[in-house]
Structure 1
Amino acid sequence: MTALLPPWLAAHLPVLPVLLPSLTAMLMLVLCHPSGEIGHDDIRLRWRRHISMASAAIGLFLAVQLMIGAHEDVLAVYRLGDWPAPFGIVLVVDRLSALMLVLVYLIALPVLWYAAGGWDAHGRHFHALFQFQLMGLSGAFVTGDLFNLFVFFEVLLIASYVLLVHGQGEARYKAGVHYVVLNLAASALFLVGVALLYAMTGTLNMADLSLRVAKVSAEQAPVLQAAALMLLVVFGLKAAVVPLYMWLPRTYAEAAAPVAALFAIMTKVGVYSIVRVHTMIFGAQAGASAQTAEPWILPVALATGALGVLGALASNSMARMVAYLTVASVGTILAGVGLFTPQALSAALYYMAHSTLVIAGLFLLVELVASQRGAAQDHLRPAQPVAQPVALGLMMLLGAASVAGLPPLPGFLGKLMILDSAAGLPAQPWVWSVVLGVGFLTLVGLARAGTILFWSVLPDLPKGGAASASGSSPRLIAATLSLLLAGVVMAVFASPLKRYTDATAEQLRDHAAYAAAVLGSQGGTRAETARPYTGSGAVTPPGKKE
């Protein structure tokens, strides 16, 4: 894939983002303290921290290599067990998959660094579960098969169930029960939808489905439409769209800060699945009989953005406010997806990368502020002054400006691109009203929250009192700031990133090239690096230049 890797390793690069965290997780279990009791000075804990951080750093390096390959128009196909598609398990890394992998590890690395400040000592298996979560996320983004998408969904959900209650507490257990029940129901519905698709087409390989769905007879079309709607409901629950979002605010608000920050990418798994399935399988090429779910995406997205920001305004704590802003950001992303134009999809992908990083940083920032406000914690009411008002205040200002979409930050650029992509379309008034309204109300809500957190000081508490004397460690500040500054970096490199998302949107429309890469060649388990996407529906034969 690249000169930075030896050929034997480059040949297996697409599977490494899945194998690396799974092997690391198993090693973490071996290094677990035999007595079950751990402490901050436990030598095994220190080793787990170092190994977990090293694994995440290597994972980021591998994801970047895959992104470089995707940027060079290489669509990598990896067939496990030497079984040809569509009969065997196949992993496919295109531009979208590579982008999502990089996003996963850009969040994972600073979150692990933050958790090593003490949160990982609140339970025995934090690092193992964290790595299993990364395995599930990576697998979901690279799988080329709907059933294996279900499998990786379950892997990441099982890990998230336990991570949610990490640190224990009654509130977390209550939120965890709702989270588990709803996701188990969604998993059952996922299986039903997958079974209906298999019954109609005889395959679950995404590339094969993109060809066979259009050939389903008119008599079988209602069953196909039911399967499409079921999958939209399942992915909508994962993405937390209206009316399936009610579980998220409480769940994310009660989770430990590093867990909530990692969960910022969880809703994007649902968004990714909607983009992948409802553009490749049930897109325009599938015919009118298969496009039952697609008209729902835009109105649901606009309602999600509006209700998400209203929930943020009504929140009485910062954690719940950021959780509702997660919902609002999903609405903005899906508004671009629901327009179903390459320009709008490109804008949505750009905005998704930015919003995920910034919201992850805000979840960490909430805990930093809460830890310095005494009994009030993150509740939006007057309390003692924080010990680090300048540092935390500036970080709050940066995060608020990024989420609200103020220029010149990438939140502004992403929303501007979505608005521009809606120009001239019938839905333009609705998209403009909701996107601009969400941005304005987000700014109002965060300005109100910042005023209370940093300026509303109780008169009977002396400034710099004992409860607020201790500030956050440089490790925690640096981990949080790295996520918030990622938005600034995206603004600096906006032009190449926009070119990448433009090419990604165009590639997603070229179903013939995807199908040819996955189904067209006979090969072993080695990655097909000689099948680049050409933008014209063709796949370059091995050894032949354009």
Structure 2
Amino acid sequence: MLQHLPVLPLLIPLLGGILLLLPPLADSDRAQRWAGSAIALAALAAALLLLWQVDARGTLVYAVGEWHPPFGIVLVADRMAALLLVLTSLLLLSVQVFSSAGEDQKGRFLHPLLMFQALGIQGSFLTGDIFNLFVFFEILLIASYALLIHGGGKQKTQANVHYVILNLAGSALFLFALGIIYGTFGTLNMADLQQKAAHLPATDVQLAKAGAMLLLVVFGMKSAMLPLHFWLPRAYEAAPAPVAALFAIMTKVGIYSLWRVHNSIFGEGAGELANIAQPWLWPLAWLTVVVGIVAVLASQTLRTLTANLIIVSVGSLLLMVAINGADATAAGLYYLVHSTIAAALMFLLAGLIIAQRGKAEDRFVQARPVTQPVLLGGLFFIASLALIGMPPLSGFIGKALMLKAALPDSAGWIWPPILLGSLAALLMLSRAGSTLFWRVRGDNDEPVRVQPAQQLAVWILVLALVALVIWAGWLTSFMQQAALDMLNGLDLQQLLLPAGGYHAE
């Protein structure tokens, strides 16, 4: 059983999504809700088991159908991938539970679509070659197209059209990049590419650089890096609350891909291709944070504010990618996990606030009071502390680790944008909280209360933030080893490649 463990995080949402589309589960809303939550819980259990096995035994490799690389489909579960699988499964469980309180009544197929979205995200983290990274990108994007428009409406339709067109263009660029890289390297297996990068003939170097830079554009688009970030605020604001919460991890797939491809394959040992993206990443990452800060200060709704804070967090993570070292990668990985959970929590809270404020929704205007100000206000305070990066929550640890990773060489580049981002978050979240909970008028004559399922979903994410603090010591050591495994890649090559590697004829 254990030898098939790496494929379980894919099989569970795949088969679960199919079952939710078929009778008898498809005929009963109650059955869909219970089954969807049970499947998400099973996916989380499988991801935790995989994390435990990877930590104990090292990187696990699964060759589908016993077709070994570089010809077959290979899944690679190392420490970084396993940790991000746990994060994805945790978000899936939370949004499945939250959706069971009535969001699934606003449109069809929400629960199976969430499964297929998780399938694409988890496959992106597990794949061992770039072509299958493209395949899983398409799976998560196709599911996201339907999820974004769940419930219908003019705003969602407009946002979806822009989102679809941009991502179709990104997919075309991805295919061009894959064709160029395969033509120059003769393989798309990540371990094989890393082994061959330093020994590429001089005649193929320029073509390989073109393919690598195209991949930088594609991954920059997926991660919302400037100037390809403009799709994110509109899409995330239009999406339903549980969908936006799951979308919080989509930009991190782009960050993860940059780590895997540009910091590993085209990293320090890649000869003439070494660190090809770094001269571009430094200014673009810095500007992404700056533009995100400006957008945060101009935000007029809680959903828009949260979306723009995601852009700031993306810029901060890109700075860690630009540093390209084990300490920076480990710090970025911790902050990635924290920022994803915190943003998802705030999106779910925005959905609850919208339901209780009537026509004012989550706009920063005077409106009727929310029905449960103590509950929602307390949860908002917790989520705000996390997003700002204040103690005692995990945001403080994540930002402290990133600031430490910048010492001594890059502090002048890294410290100002990260600290200014925290200041902007503090100012705007203070304004948001005071407006949403204190600037009230009249009475709430249509009281809407938080459903038990919604409250459970929110507390799952709150407890996850607390767990990041309680087990911070173990997690930082784990992430340090995960960063070393990813950057070195030597063990990965020995596991995947035959003696001497594979050389195309």
* TM-score band w.r.t. shorter chain: over 0.9
Query: Residue 19 of structure 2 is aligned with which of 27, 31, 36?
Result: 27
Q: Which residue of 2 aligns with 1:529?
A: none
* Structure 1 residue 211: Cα displacement: 0.8
* Structure 1 residue 482: Cα displacement: 2.1
Q: Does 1:401 align with 2:385?
A: yes
Correspondences of 1:32-181 after superposition (within 5 Å): 44-181=28-165
* Structure 1 residue 33: Cα displacement: 8.5
* Structure 1 residue 289: Cα displacement: 3.4
Query: Residue 454 of structure 2 is aligned with which of 471, 476, 499?
Result: 476
* Structure 1 residue 149: Cα displacement: 0.5
8 Å CA contact 1:225–1:293 kept in 2: the answer is no
Assess, with a 3 A threshold, how the Cα gap between structure 1 residues 32 and 270 changes in structure 2: closer, same or farther. Answer: farther
In 2: Cα distance, 1:411 partner to 1:299 partner: 24
In 1: Cα distance, 2:384 partner to 2:24 partner: 39
Q: Which residue of 2 aligns with 1:537?
A: none
8 Å CA contact 2:266–2:273 kept in 1: the answer is no
In 2: Cα distance, 1:227 partner to 1:331 partner: 23
* Structure 1 residue 44: Cα displacement: 1.5
* Structure 1 residue 310: Cα displacement: 1.7
Query: In the alignment, residue 145 of structure 2 is paired with which amino acid?
Result: Y
Query: Residue 2 of structure 2 is aligned with which of 10, 20, 37?
Result: 10
Query: Residue 317 of structure 1 is aligned with which of 284, 301, 307?
Result: 301
Q: Which residue of 2 aligns with 1:364?
A: 348
Assess, with a 3 A threshold, how the Cα gap between structure 1 residues 363 and 113 changes in structure 2: closer, same or farther. Answer: same
Could you tell me which runs of 5 or more consecutive residues in structure 2 were left unpaired when the two chains were aligned. Answer: 501-505
Correspondences of 1:189-338 after superposition (within 5 Å): 189-338=173-322
In 1: Cα distance, 2:251 partner to 2:377 partner: 28
8 Å CA contact 1:32–1:125 kept in 2: the answer is no
Q: Which residue of 2 aligns with 1:416?
A: 400
SS at match of 1:299: helix
Q: Does 1:449 align with 2:432?
A: yes
Cα deviations by residue, 1:253-302 (Å, 9 ceiling, x for unpaired): 00000000000011111111011111221111102335322222232222
Q: Which residue of 2 aligns with 1:382?
A: 366
SS at match of 1:373: helix
Query: In the alignment, residue 495 of structure 2 is paired with which amino acid?
Result: A
In 1: Cα distance, 2:18 partner to 2:273 partner: 46
SS at match of 1:22: helix
SS at match of 2:71: coil
Query: In the alignment, residue 374 of structure 1 is paired with which amino acid?
Result: G
Cα deviations by residue, 1:516-538 (Å, 9 ceiling, x for unpaired): 0111489xxxxxxxxxxxxxxxx
Cα deviations by residue, 1:381-422 (Å, 9 ceiling, x for unpaired): 110111111111111111111110101211111111111111
Q: Does 1:505 align with 2:483?
A: yes
8 Å CA contact 2:6–2:61 kept in 1: the answer is yes
Query: In the alignment, residue 148 of structure 2 is paired with which amino acid?
Result: L
In 2: Cα distance, 1:435 partner to 1:278 partner: 23
Query: In the alignment, residue 399 of structure 2 is paired with which amino acid?
Result: K
In 2: Cα distance, 1:163 partner to 1:509 partner: 35
8 Å CA contact 2:205–2:272 kept in 1: the answer is no
In 1: Cα distance, 2:358 partner to 2:25 partner: 33
8 Å CA contact 2:6–2:76 kept in 1: the answer is yes
SS at match of 1:78: strand
Q: Which residue of 1 aligns with 2:503?
A: none
SS at match of 1:486: helix
Q: Which moved more, 1:166-175 or 1:46-55?
A: 46-55
SS at match of 1:77: strand
Q: Which moved more, 1:260-269 or 1:510-519?
A: 510-519
**Greater helix proportion:** 2
SS at match of 2:370: coil
What is the TM-score of this pair, normalised by structure 1? 0.89
Cα deviations by residue, 1:349-371 (Å, 9 ceiling, x for unpaired): 00110110110010000011111
Q: Kindly report the root-mean-square deviation, in angstroms, between the aligned alpha carbons of the 2 structures.
A: 1.5
Q: Does 1:514 align with 2:498?
A: no
In 1: Cα distance, 2:139 partner to 2:58 partner: 28
Query: In the alignment, residue 47 of structure 2 is paired with which amino acid?
Result: A
SS at match of 2:269: helix
SS at match of 1:92: strand
8 Å CA contact 1:358–1:486 kept in 2: the answer is no
* Structure 1 residue 309: Cα displacement: 2.3
Could you tell me which runs of 5 or more consecutive residues in structure 1 were left unpaired when the two chains were aligned. Answer: 1-8, 35-42, 523-546
